[in-house]
């Protein structure tokens, strides 16, 4: 039986010992900070249209389950929210799930841990949280997750992920469990701190992917570097972002200037945290951070410079 106020969501009136007490409470973007504190900026950065909140109660209100359904502007945004943390147990909520398919990032579209289920389905992102975890609460949370995804399409990977190299020279291998899609400077800084200012001119119309790479190092400690690829609406916007970035982070040295043709610009330079480098190709900007040496920075950028960065990526 579906509760009238939850008809659009497909949520049942009751699940196990839990009964829907109220909902939906609909939160619009301009009211997100009335509902939550600092985390609201992350959801705004991923372009949500509305948030519907439902509360299930059991045991006289002592055992509650909170359901948050975020309607996003695109499947990329729903994927981006899930990709901020790939931790937890991967669970299958739909018989049609393609969990065995080949993907760049982890294939999971639902992750469970400590009473919290996070999932994406189509353009929907959801959080379902049992305040007190128990076997019965877990089953109820998963049952609610199955109700949410029923009839919805699966969330595909953003096409921008396709240009990430899987392996590089010196046995550099991508850490798939840390690949993330983003749009906002706040989210990028949570993945790898760039600076307090929006030096890369990020925003809702920008697509970005973050990926760390590891290679064997001395004494068993792996070497690492970080790759960021950005897609701007046009080449002019990308070049202006590069100009801001280069002025803000490049050392004041003649050897650290922009090199390359007018259409494709590149550089690698030493910073206090290792080697930083970039490649600009049309509307695409690839950056590498904290490489252990210049050769490693150049190698990772060489793998994404051509031809993938010339491939068209749609902007919603």
Main-chain dihedrals φ then ψ at residue 58, nearest 5 degrees: -150, 160
Residue 258 confidence (pLDDT): 46
* pTM for this model (two decimals): 0.90
Nearest to 106 by CA among 122, 125, 85, 75: 85
Domains defined for the chain, CATH in brackets: 4-149 (no CATH), 159-310 (3.40.1000.20)
Residue 96 confidence (pLDDT): 65
SS3 state at 51: strand
Checking phi first, is residue 62 left (phi over 0); if not, alpha (psi -120 to 50) or beta?
alpha
What is the residue-level pLDDT of the chain in tens, covering all 316 positions? 333 345 467 899 999 999 999 889 999 999 999 999 778 999 999 999 999 999 999 988 789 999 999 999 999 999 999 999 999 999 999 876 665 678 999 999 999 999 999 999 999 999 999 999 999 999 999 999 999 999 999 999 999 999 998 877 668 899 999 999 999 999 999 999 999 999 999 999 999 999 999 998 877 788 999 999 999 999 999 999 999 998 887 655 444 444 444 445 888 888 888 999 999 989 999 999 999 999 999 888 988 855 444 444 445 5
Helices (H), 108-234: 135-149, 185-191
């Amino acid at each position: 039986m579906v509760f009238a106020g939850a008809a659009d969501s497909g949520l049942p009136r009751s699940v196990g010992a839990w009964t829907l007490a109220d909902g939906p409470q609909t939160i619009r973007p301009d009211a997100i900070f009335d509902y939550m504190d600092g985390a609201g900026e992350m959801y705004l950065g991923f372009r949500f249209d509305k948030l519907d909140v439902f509360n299930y109660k059991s045991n006289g209100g002592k055992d509650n389950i909170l359901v948050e359904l975020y309607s996003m502007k695109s499947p990329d945004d729903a994927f981006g929210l899930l990709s901020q943390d790939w931790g937890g147990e991967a669970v299958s909520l739909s018989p049609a799930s393609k969990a065995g398919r080949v993907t760049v990032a982890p294939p999971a579209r639902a992750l469970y841990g400590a009473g919290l289920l996070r999932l994406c389905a189509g353009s929907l992102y959801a959080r379902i949280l049992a305040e007190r975890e128990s076997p019965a609460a877990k089953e109820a949370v998963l049952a609610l997750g199955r109700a949410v995804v029923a009839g919805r399409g699966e969330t595909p990977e953003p096409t921008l992920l396709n240009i990430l190299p899987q392996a590089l020279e010196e046995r550099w291998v991508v850490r798939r469990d840390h690949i993330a899609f983003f749009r906002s400077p706040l989210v990028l800084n949570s993945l790898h701190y760039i600076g307090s200012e929006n030096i890369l001119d990020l925003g809702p119309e920008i697509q970005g992917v973050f990926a760390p790479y590891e290679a064997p190092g001395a004494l068993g400690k792996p070497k690492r570097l970080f790759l960021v690829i950005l897609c701007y609406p046009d080449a002019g916007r990308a070049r202006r972002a590069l100009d801001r970035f280069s002025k803000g982070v490049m050392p004041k040295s003649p050897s650290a200037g922009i090199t390359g043709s007018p259409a494709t610009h590149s550089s690698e330079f030493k910073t206090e945290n290792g080697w930083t480098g970039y490649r600009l190709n049309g509307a695409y900007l690839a950056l590498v951070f904290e490489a252990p040496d210049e050769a490693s920075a150049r190698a990772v950028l060489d793998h994404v410079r051509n031809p993938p960065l010339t491939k068209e990526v749609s902007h919603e």
